[in-house]
């Protein structure tokens, strides 16, 4: 896509949550995560690439001892439809007997998050929790998948901003936006 095409997509999109609303939601999440994990020596795992912005914003609000690592697993590969899960990088730190908090941008259908949770458990994590910036409201989620910490809830449309992308672009949008249906295929 060209920069002009991406700008046209952004002009047609609907703002669902402003930057101020997203920042307030991250503040609230930080309080919840702190209450749950401040005395647990957790390992936080950023799920790349979508979880990058959310993780960075959340981490600066967590004033307790923790470690951070990342993993990269994706089903979208810059498309608007998911496909087979591809693993690009596993965590370098040991998950064995650790309290693990997975940080991701969005819980949509949950296939990627479910696979990451299963991987962490298989690596011997003592407990695996999940935090997402956005949880989409619909009934197509993988059975049993949920987020332990949720910043915002959103309608069932294709979203971008704060780490979520549209065809590899717009992750840096300061707000949560819903793509116009004309731009989804």
Q: What are phi and psi of 127, to 5 degrees?
A: -155, 140
Instruction: Quote the CA–CA distance of 16 and 107 in Å, as a whole number.
Output: 16
Q: Is residue 185 part of a domain?
A: no
Model pTM score: 0.91
Q: Is residue 42 part of a domain?
A: yes
What Rg do the C-alpha atoms of the chain give, in angstroms?
A: 16
pLDDT in tens, 15-27: 999 999 999 999 9
The CATH number of the domain holding residue 166 is 3.40.50.2020
Q: Is residue 118 part of a domain?
A: yes
pLDDT in tens, 44-101: 999 999 999 999 999 999 999 999 999 998 866 555 555 577 888 889 999 999 999 9
Collapsing DSSP to helix, strand or coil, 7 comes out as helix
pLDDT in tens, 121-165: 999 999 999 999 999 998 888 988 999 999 999 999 999 999 999
Instruction: Quote the CA–CA distance of 56 and 54 in Å, as a whole number.
Output: 6
Task: Give the domain range for residue 63.
Answer: 3-180
User: What tokens appear for 107 in the block?
Assistant: 């819980």
Domain count, the chain: 1
Instruction: Quote the CA–CA distance of 146 and 108 in Å, as a whole number.
Output: 10
């Amino acid at each position: 896509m060209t920069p002009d095409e991406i700008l046209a997509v952004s002009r047609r999109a609907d703002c669902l949550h402003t930057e101020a609303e997203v920042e307030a939601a991250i503040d609230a999440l930080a309080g919840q995560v702190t209450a749950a994990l401040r005395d647990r020596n957790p390992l936080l795992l950023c799920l790349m690439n979508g979880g990058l912005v959310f993780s960075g914003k959340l981490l600066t609000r967590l004033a307790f001892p923790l470690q951070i690592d990342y993993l990269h697993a994706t089903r979208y590969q810059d498309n608007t439809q998911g496909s087979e899960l591809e693993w690009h990088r596993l965590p370098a730190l040991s998950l064995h007997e650790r309290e693990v908090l997975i940080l991701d941008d969005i819980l949509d259908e949950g296939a990627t998050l479910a696979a990451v949770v299963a991987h962490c458990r298989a690596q011997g994590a003592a407990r695996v929790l999940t935090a997402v910036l956005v949880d989409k409201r619909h009934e197509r989620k993988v059975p049993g998948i949920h987020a332990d910490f949720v910043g915002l809830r959103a309608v069932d449309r294709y979203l971008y901003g704060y780490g979520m992308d549209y065809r590899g672009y717009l992750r840096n949008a300061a707000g949560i936006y819903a793509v116009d249906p004309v731009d989804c295929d």
